[in-house]
Amino acid sequence: MRKLTHQDLLDLVDGAAIFSAGGGGDPDVGYTIANKLAKEGYAVELADPFEIPDDAVVVNFASVGATSTIEYDSDSAVKTLQVLEDYIGKKAYAVIPVELGGFNTLAAVDVAARHRVPVVDADGAGRAVPEVHLKVYTIDDISLTPMAVADSQAKNVVIVKTTADFRSAERIARILSAEWNQSAYTARRILTGKQVKSSPVLHTLSRSIEIGVLLRKAVEPIEEIVRETGGFRLFDGRVSSVEKETKGGFTWITVSLEGFETYRGSSCVLKVKNETLAAYRDGKLVAIAPDIITPAHHKTGKCITAEKIRKDDKLAILGFRAPEKWRTTKGLELWKDVLRHSGIDENYVPIERLAV
């Protein structure tokens, strides 16, 4: 196992945010978590998936709700995991993040460290995603339940024993989060150590740390990130308008940009449901989920989460290939369903074909 330093955690925040598609929670909350763990002397151990015993219990952890509303309390988050442990009668050997994001990845790290178990070097999506069931585990038919759902202070904790299907679990968690000020903790998707070796997207935390180091050290960080990831610089522009609404446990945003430099005279529109789901340049689709579309600071390359974008911000819009599991027939069907009921009707076209 690798012991993560304070700097590793800060780099993890920045790197995970790059793959968040502008969601996954506010990186500033992630920095706060990292700083508190260091100040309070907690050890953070990163376990390779292949180190986990096959019969071990591994629990996914994350916050659920609108990205514009993040309330986080470490003790309450840990309590949510403990309630699930009590229900199943087993202790978690490790915790795994459900997704990559400047906040949500660190929430799982925090719960693991405070519960004195390792965090797994993997996650359930290889990016941030807008709905609870939208994880690569669903492709493998790994149940979301049993699931513990708690409010931000863990004064209300619900155990969901079983559901009719994956989408029902999403609806239950979303309704509860909407009731609890648009935010809730969830401990769910109990994996075996054997499943951890094949079902999640592997080695994403160590990869995110590497990207965070690049962002911190590179003279031209955006160019370095695009080169390192094989990604794309989709647009450079100034934000001309932002339309935002928080409802139903989601943050809905439309961002319009007017281009400058290479893109002077062009326009770009981002469609966001917690995460950026589609980007249009001059009215034509230039990227669509599950490929990753991340708004970034025009100079530093750091992710600007969608809910923090303001008029006149200068942004670089970055694009990255989705993990290959999302590009399978079943993975694309899951995303197609989410896109359709998010008001996006275009069919998926790989980013490497669109971003030319």
Domains and CATH numbers, the chain: 2-204 (3.40.1610.10), 225-354 (2.40.390.10)
Peptide bond into 290 cis (omega under 30): yes
What is the pLDDT, as a whole number, of residue 305?
96
Order across the sheet with 232-247: list the strands.
284-288, 275-281, 267-273, 250-259, 232-247, 314-320, 292-297
pTM, rounded to two decimals: 0.95
**Tokens matching residue 238:** 């100034």
Question: Among candidates 253, 261, 242, which has minimal Cα distance to 313?
Answer: 242
Tell me the helices (H) and strands (E) count for the chain, helix number first: 11, 17
Per-residue pLDDT at 17? 98
**What string of pLDDT tens digits covers the 356 residues of the chain?**
999 999 999 999 999 999 999 999 999 999 999 999 999 999 999 999 999 999 999 999 998 876 656 679 999 999 999 999 999 999 999 999 999 999 999 999 999 999 999 999 999 999 999 988 899 999 999 999 999 999 999 999 999 999 999 889 888 988 998 888 878 999 999 999 999 999 999 999 999 999 999 999 999 999 999 999 999 999 999 999 999 998 877 889 999 999 999 999 999 999 999 999 999 999 999 999 999 999 999 999 999 999 999 999 999 999 999 999 999 999 999 999 999 989 999 999 999 999 87
DSSP 8-state secondary structure symbol assigned to residue 131: S
CB atoms within 10 A of CB 45: 16
Distances (CA, A) of 87 to 62, 84, 146, 185, 245: 18, 5, 9, 16, 36
Length of the chain: 356
CA distance 18 to 222: 11
Tell me how many degrees the CA angle 261-266-268 measures, rounded to the nearest 5. 105
Is residue 47 within 8 Å of residue 112, measured between CB atoms? no
Tokens of 200: 């999640």
On the 0-12 / 13-18 / 19+ scale of CB atoms within 10 A, 313 is: middle
The predicted pLDDT at position 67 comes to 63
Q: What are phi and psi of 128, to 5 degrees?
A: -95, 150
For the chain, the distance separating the N- and C-terminal CA atoms, rounded to the nearest angstrom, is 41
DSSP-derived 3-state class of residue 314: strand
Report pLDDT for 101.
96
CA 201 distance to own-chain centroid = 12
CB within 8 Å of 69: residues ≥ 6 apart: 181, 182, 183, 246, 251
8 A C-beta contact, residue 332 and residue 268: no
pLDDT at 248: 76
Helical pair 27-39 and 6-18, crossing angle rounded to 10 deg:
170
| Closest alpha carbon to 169 in 152, 147, 198, 137 | 147
